[in-house]
Chains A and B, each alone.
Chain A
Amino acid sequence: MPLSLAVEGLGAKRGEDMIFKDISFVLKAGEALVVTGPNGSGKSTLLRVVAGLLAAEEGFVSVSGAETGHPRELCHYLGHRNGMKRELTVEENLSFWKSFMGDSPGGSGMNVFEAEEAVGLPGIGHLPFGYLSAGQQRRVAMAKLLVAWRPIWILDEPTAALDAASERMFAGLMLAHLEKGGIALAATHQPLGLENTRRLEMRGFEFTEVE
């Protein structure tokens, strides 16, 4: 049975105020949802709730088609921060995440060198992560998505700090992920260069889903 991610009647609070409520969508294998909206409309909060990092005030997130304890175990989360140590080399960082995270059932991650090549940074594995530019650091963080297989990618502003060529590269990575039966949920201001994605527009308290 193919994987699907279902969100039903989700609502979340920031402090005392409801930031959004009653968000529902279902993503089947191979589908991507792009969440758009102005600053402060709750895009990041929505993503963190789906990733299980914030408690939902109402509603729930569920995954069907895979046996797992919690949906978050099938998710990769790429937030604003890269999750990499400046003191360690790129290779040490990536191989740490590869062995710490392991692979979810149904797929296997690339090895570290393939992943470096896939993000267009071959041969930089020996450099400390802190030596890289902001855009290169972001691309290494994307390589982290590739080294450990997770069917669901949750991406918060994935292409911030990237040049146009790298944005196209990332669109290719996402397309390859979707073709393998993955699911992607991304919040972004920039177009990701993907066709056939669904869009969820958040407008503070209101939101509409546009096909």
Chain B
Amino acid sequence: MTALFLRDVKLSVRAGGGALIGVLFFLTVVAVVPFAIGPDLNLLSRIGPAILWIGALLSCLLGLDRLFQAEREDGSLDLMLMQETPLVLTVLVKCLAHWVASGLPLVLAAPLLGLFMNMDSLAIGATMLTLLVGTPAITFIGAAGAGVAVALPRGGLLVSILVLPLAIPVLIFGVSAAYAAVQDPAPFLPPLIILIAITLFFAVIGPVAAAAALRSSSD
């Protein structure tokens, strides 16, 4: 399993891998917002956490459709389906590797982009924390979508549309926790704990659903 994790991380940072693409997309989305909104610093800092979250959500979805499709195209998926190792575990490890290679860089890039949005250090810290606990949920939800669309040659957009409704709660609680840290009356902890709960919930449901989809779609 460690071998699978290391291989997937290696693949996504090598040429043709998707790790850098996600960060660049995140950068692009967030960097154009100040130009569109105009130089209203108060407005920018008010919408900052939400824009960072939207950017992170979209970048997370960007490379997810390739999670199993690449394995299927070169025949590796056949061998993965045949092993004694439960498929759920294989999927879970692939999700973790995908998150480390493409979700974690988003979290690390968030402070820089927070400066673009004129966010203060507390808001940046809170947004980073919510991204750190929230983006794995998007990967797990996306894995289920990627499993369903594995046999479709142009399944990329379909995966995004399939998983977006499920990812909305992650967005809502992620953004509300980030706002709660900077706006006084709102409590910070409850939305953060709900966000963690959502991530843990999908860490179980996502791989199980993806494994079931992969089993039934093999041809």
Once A79-B75, A80-B75 are accepted as A-B contacts, the answer to whether A85 and B82 lie under 8 Å apart by CB is no
Interface residues on B, range: 20 to 34
Whole-angstrom CA separation of A211 from B74 in the bound complex: 35
Closest A residue by C-beta to B81: A53
Chain A minimum-CB-distance residue to B2: A99
Are A100 and B82 in contact (CB-based, < 8 A)?
A: no
Size of the A side of the interface (Cβ < 8 Å), in residues, is 28
Given contact pairs A52-B82, A92-B7, enumerate 6 new A-B contacts (beta carbons under 8 Å).
Answer: A52-B81, A84-B74, A85-B7, A85-B74, A96-B7, A97-B79
- Assess whether A82 is in contact with B75, with CB atoms less than 8 Å apart: yes
Give the contact stretch, choosing among B10-18, B116-124, B125-133, B168-176: B10-18
A116, chain B: closest CB distance, angstroms: 18
**Residue B3 lies at the interface, judged by CB distance under 8 Å to chain A:** yes
Could you tell me which B residues sit within 8 Å of A by CB distance? 1-4, 7, 10-11, 14-17, 73-76, 78-79, 81-85, 218-219
The answer to whether B4 and A83 have CB atoms under 8 Å apart is: no
Q: Which chain A positions have C-beta within 8 A of B1?
A: 100
Which among B2, B11, B16, B79 is the interface contact of A83 at CB below 8 angstroms? B79
User: Is B83 in contact with A100, judged by CB distance below 8 angstroms?
Assistant: yes
Cα–Cα, bound, A71→B39 (Å) = 66
Cross-chain contact of B79 among A77, A86, A102 (Cβ < 8 A): A77
In angstroms, Cα B218 to Cα A95, docked, is 25
**Whole-angstrom CA separation of A72 from B85 in the bound complex:** 12
The reply to whether the CB of A160 lies closer than 8 angstroms to some CB of chain B is no
Shortest Cβ gap from A106 to chain B (Å): 14
Task: Tell me how far the C-beta of B75 lies from the nearest C-beta in chain A, rounded to whole angstroms.
Answer: 3
The interface residues of chain A lying within 8 Å CB-to-CB of B15 are 87
* Chain B residue nearest to A79 in the complex (CB): B75
> How far does the Cβ of B104 sit from chain A's closest Cβ, in whole Å?
20
Q: Report the Cα distance A85→B13, complex, angstroms.
A: 13
With a CB–CB cut-off of 8 A, which chain A residues contact B10?
88, 92
CB of A2 within 8 Å of the partner chain: no
